[in-house]
Structures are given as C-alpha cells and as structure tokens.
Structure 1
Amino acid sequence: MTDRELPSLHALRAFEAAARLGSMSLAARELHVTHGAISRQVRALEEALGHPLFRRQGRGVEPTTAGRQLQESCHAAFAQLRDSWIRLRQAQAESALVLGCSGSVLARWVIPRLERLRHELPDLRLHLAAQEEPAALAGVDVALLLVTPPWPASWQVHDLAPECIGPVLSPRHPDAERLLGLPAAALGEEPLLYTASRPQAWPDWARAMGLPPGSMRQAQALPHLYFLLEAAAAGLGVAITPQPLVADDLASGRLLAPWGFRDTGGRWVLASTRSGDSRVEALAAWIRDELAGR
C-alpha cells in the first residue's frame, strides 16, 4: 500500500478515540475538537472503506466487525509509534525538559512569565511546544493542561489549581458602560464570543451562576482562545475565558470582568507519563505559586 492509499492520520485518531470511548462526544472532548469534526472524520473513513465502522448504541456508538478490526490495528500502530517516540526521547539524556501546552496558554500565560521562570529556576532547561491537541502528551515530557477529572491512569499528574472561567469585555465595547451596571443575566441578550473547541464554556459558566445554561446566546465562534481574547480586547463582544489568561489584561484595564469568575470543576494540571523527575516537581511548584498569585 502506498502513502496515498493510507487514510488520514487525523481521521484514524478521531475514529480510534470514538471507538475506545464509545462516544463521538467524548472523543471530541478528548481531542479538543467539535462533535461534528469527529463525525466528519469517521464518515470520510466509512466512505473510503465502503462499509460502516459504527452502529448506534443508545447515546453512544459501538464498532461494527470492520470497526473492531480497524480499532485493534489503530491501537497497535499508535502504541508502537508512541513507544518508538519515547525511546528516541529517552536517548537524549541531556535534552531540555519539553513543556507542551495549547498555543493560547503558551502565548498568554507561559511566555509573559518566562523571564521570571528563568530567574527563579535557573537550572531548569526548558523547551516550549505548542500543541494542536492540548490533551495529548505525545512528543513532550510534560504538559500544562486545563482538563476535567478523571484523567488517564497512565498520567503522572500534579494538580495545580481549580479552573475558574468568566466573561470579559473591553472598555472599548460599544455597550460597555451600560453592561457594567447590569446583572449577569443581562448577558443573555448579548451576542457572545466563544471558541469552537469549547462551546460548553458559556453554558458551564451560566450553570455556575445559577442561570439557565441555554440562556446564553453564542453568536461568534473563534478558532483559538488567543483570537477570542484579542476580539474581546478590540471591543467586538463579550468573551468567556479562564481567569489566569486575562490576569495581566485585567490588571492593566485592557479587559474588564464585572461578573467575576466561577469554578467549572476543571483543573489546571501538569501531566506527564514519567515519574520521579525532580525538574517536573520544581516546575509544578513554580506554576502552582504563579497561578495562586504568590
């Protein structure tokens, strides 16, 4: 079989996650994409194969006979790739610690603190990697993640802080003066900004505020949280965001958070598949203090 005859790796990852978890929605959550993206990737595989890979099972999905065969092959192939990558990385004994995180967390939280990190942990050699799929640990030594328990048993997890999210807007927003004097329920009348990878953020916040989750009118999706916050800073709408990513903007007055932040049940964690690495311990302690504002 030539490379051109092989299906898309993205499609295989989407299929494998859906088959393993028994749910398109759970697969979308794990891979930080939309339910529709998972469905499209699976449908493309089924069309190329000419045979269904799943059958509906209540609210979930169950692999067909062909699906089970493909799931076993995907599991073995991904495990072999992962093991090979780990062996290659372990061979680089003197390499720096590779920290992965989403591009938005990297740009808005990690990079602004690099100078302080280097000053306070001078012996830590750190390389940064932006991850398209921020819940994955492949290719990095450790990852700074926003996740909701439970997480995989194979992860070595340092719990850092609760995830708190809330609405922010710019003083340049056309209705900023009016909105600042209104209760949170008034946001139900506003067109709201959100990220396509996390459409549940507004409903989660509304629920934490005691508001009907369906009362928030999500109007404009942005592909990444970084773009979302830049759109909010430009006065284009009210955005929903984790609090640490806008701490500097709130301090400078570039953004406002008049309705506060609420705990979603998610966690900031530093996760890896290795244990006993003192560099990871030191980094986790440093990030925990930064998130706590100490």
Structure 2
Amino acid sequence: MPTSNSHSLPSLTALRAFDSCARSLSMTAAAESLHVTHGAVSRQIRQLEEQLDTRLFDRKGRGLSLTDAGLRLARTTREVFDQLEQTCDQVRRDAKGAPFVLACSGSFLARWFIPRLDQLQQECPELELHLTATDESDNMRAGVDAALRFAAPPWPKEQKVIELAPERIGPVLKPQLLPETSPTPDWLLSQPLLETLSRRQAWPEWCEAHQLDHSRLRMRQSFEHLNYMLEGALAGLGVAIAPEYLVEEDLRSGRLVAPWGFVETEARLGLWLPDTEISPRAQQLADWLKTALNQ
C-alpha cells in the first residue's frame, strides 16, 4: 500500500488554515480568526500546496484569489468543517443534557405542533424540546438539531431526511362564502383567491389534479407566511389553499370548510438532520411525529 505523503491526507491544521483563508481571502484575517500568526498560516498554506503539488491561491499584492484547484478544495472543506462543527455542537449538547432544538415554520409551529405539545410531553416525557420558528429555507442553521420542512425528493446526499408524511393541499374558506348549492371546482374561477409567496405552485398543482386551467384563477392577495393567509381566509377575504395538517382544527370546529377535499403533491414533510447520522432523540421524535401526523 502507498505510504508516501503524496497519498496521505493533509493535516487538519493545514486544511483549517486553508479554509479560513478561502473564506476571507486574507491570510491576516485567517490568522486573526485562528488566533495564530500570519507566518504560521503562510507556512501551513505553503506546505499544503507542496503536498498537493498545486497552487491553491494566486497572490496579488496583499490580496488572494482562489485558483480552480483552490475553489474545488474550498467547496469541500467548507462543507466538511460546517458539518464537523454542527456534529461537535450536537455531541456537546447531548453530553450536557441540553434540550433538542427543533426548527420549523411559524405556521406549522402555531397551528399543528403547539396544540399537540402536551401529547408529546405525556408520551415522550424524557424528550426535552426547544422549539424555534424560522423560515424553511434557513432552518438548518448552527445550533439546530433537526428541522421540519415540506420539500420534494430527491434529498441532499450530505444530510439525512426522515420522511414523515405526504403533503396534501386543498382550498379552504369560510362556510358563509359558499353558495347554497354545492359548487363544482370551476366555481373557484370566479372567486378571489389567496396564496403564499413561498408556495405559489400550490394552486396550479391542485388545479391540475382537477383538470382546471390555473391561468384563469384570480388571485386577490399574496401573503409572506401561510399563517397570515389562513387568517385572511378566516376573515372572509377569499379562498386559501393550505396543507391539510394546518387546518385540521379549523375544519373540525367549522371555522373553515374544504368542499373539494385535498390532493397529495410530490412534496413530503420531512425531519431534516444536519448530517447523515440519526441520534436516538431524533429517531424518537421522528417516530412520534409519524404517528401523530397519521392519526
């Protein structure tokens, strides 16, 4: 087996110095962030370039720019160090018995999770959660153990996604807005409709399932958050389209009705983890969510 340095991995110290330089494009800034001298960073970069037998940076006066090889390596080191930091943070919190941090949209948190939080605490008393509301696009930030997202496969290879349930969407409205006779889906073509900016494909997807021309729909109002859209529907502003999970209580109480039911989309609600490992607490939460979502 080869034993020469040309076939071995560079040192973690050298890769860390490279990653810091690649992020800042400055050896001075990298040295400050790593709490070492400028000379120490320069030596690590030089040794790394010698070991890889290629230049990673172009030196332009006091500035740096990445070569093609440097760009390629930087993409990998950034992902690896980000994942390593997240994993170490999780291990540290687990060792301290810190709460399991779960991120999800404010709409899902308010309309689905909080009403069932007492049930979770009774059935999994040892699982201490810290819930945080974030936009779905930003809910895997550092310090988060898992995130709930609606998304369509395929899933990213660098993360583990535990599929929980399919997304089912449908039009909902105040019962007072319905005509006396049961309307067919094409009645919606003459009605003011509500949508969310993050899920503008919801109406076209539902229309396709019912053979309706979605280009004839009349949008009255767009909302940034799904919860705001549903409040608009409850206020009688028009017909909203929403995931079934988020309107169950409103349908049960009669505040909203869903005359045409719900259709399944390609999206799935998943529990997203920072890396490919599933911790015991993440698995316990996923098992509970699967059961609760399908009750």
The answer to whether TM tops 0.5 is yes
Which position in structure 2 is the counterpart of 1:228? 229
Structure 2 Cα separation of the partners of residues 115 and 156 of structure 1: 27
**Aligned-partner Cα distance in 1 for 2:82–2:151:** 24
- Within 1, Cα distance between the matches of 2:85 and 2:195? 38
Q: TM-score scaled to structure 1, two decimals?
A: 0.69
Comparing 154-163 with 141-150, greater Cα deviation is found at: 154-163
Query: How many pairs were matched up?
Result: 227
SS at 2:153 equivalent: coil
> 1:1-294, aligned counterparts within 5 Å?
80-81=81-82, 83-92=84-93, 93=95, 94-134=97-137, 136-139=139-142, 140-172=144-176, 176-178=177-179, 181-272=182-273, 273-293=275-295
Match of 2:120, SS state, is helix
How far residue 227 of structure 1 moved from its aligned partner, in angstroms, is 0.5
Change (3 A) 1:131 1:190: same
Contact kept, 8 Å, 1:203 with 1:213, in 2: the verdict is yes
Q: Gaps spanning 5+ residues in structure 1: where?
A: 1-5, 7-64
Whole-Å separation in 1 of the counterparts to 2:223 and 2:72: 32
Unaligned runs of 5+ in 2: 1-23, 25-65
State the alpha-carbon separation in 2 of the partners of residues 169 and 136 from structure 1.
30
Q: CA deviation at 1:276?
A: 3.9
* C-alpha contact (below 8 Å) 1:165/1:261 kept by paired residues: yes
Matches of 1:179 and 1:78 in 2, distance apart? Answer: 58
Once the two structures are superposed, residues 126-172 of structure 1 have per-residue CA deviations (whole angstroms, 9 ceiling, x without a partner) of: 11111223464223111121111111012222221111000000134
Q: How far has the Cα of 1:271 moved from its partner?
A: 1.9
* Change in 2 beyond 3 A, CA 1:197/1:179: farther
Could you tell me how far 1:179 is from its partner in structure 2?
Answer: 7.5
More deviation, 236-245/68-77: 68-77
Cα shift at 1:122: 0.8
Q: For 1:266, what is the secondary structure of its paired residue?
A: strand
Percent identical pairs in the alignment equals 42
Distance 1:245 1:186, change over 3 A: same
Which SS does the other structure have where 1:162 is aligned? strand
Looking at structure 1, the residues matched to 209 and 223 of structure 2 have their Cα atoms a distance apart, in angstroms, of 23
Q: CA deviation at 1:263?
A: 0.6
Deviation, structure 1 residue 274 = 4.6
Q: Which amino acid aligns with 1:96?
A: P
SS at match of 1:95: coil
Larger radius of gyration: 2
Distance 1:262 1:110 in 2: 22
Residues 71-91 of structure 1 show CA distances to partners (whole Å, capped at 9, x for unaligned) of: 986876576455434433432
Q: Which amino acid aligns with 2:132?
A: A
TM-score, normalized by length of structure 2?
A: 0.69
Relative distance call for 1:88 and 1:290 in structure 2 (3 A) is closer
Q: CA deviation at 1:125?
A: 1.0
- Could you tell me how far apart the structure 2 residues matched to 1:254 and 1:102 are? 22
Q: Answer yes or no: is the 8 Å Cα contact 1:82–1:138 preserved in 2.
A: no
Cα contact 2:192–2:237 (8 A) shared by 1: no
Q: Tell me, in whole angstroms, the C-alpha distance in 2 between the residues paired with 1:163 and 1:107.
A: 18
Q: Measure, in 2, the Cα distance between the counterparts of 1:106 and 1:222.
A: 18
Change (3 A) 1:72 1:105: farther
Structure 1 range deviating more: 107-116 or 283-292: 283-292
- Which amino acid is the alignment partner of residue 100 of structure 2? L
Contact kept, 8 Å, 2:104 with 2:139, in 1: the verdict is no
Q: Secondary structure at the match of 1:275?
A: coil
**Residue aligning to 1:45:** none
Counterpart amino acid of residue 175 in structure 2: P
Range 72-81 or range 153-162, more displaced: 72-81
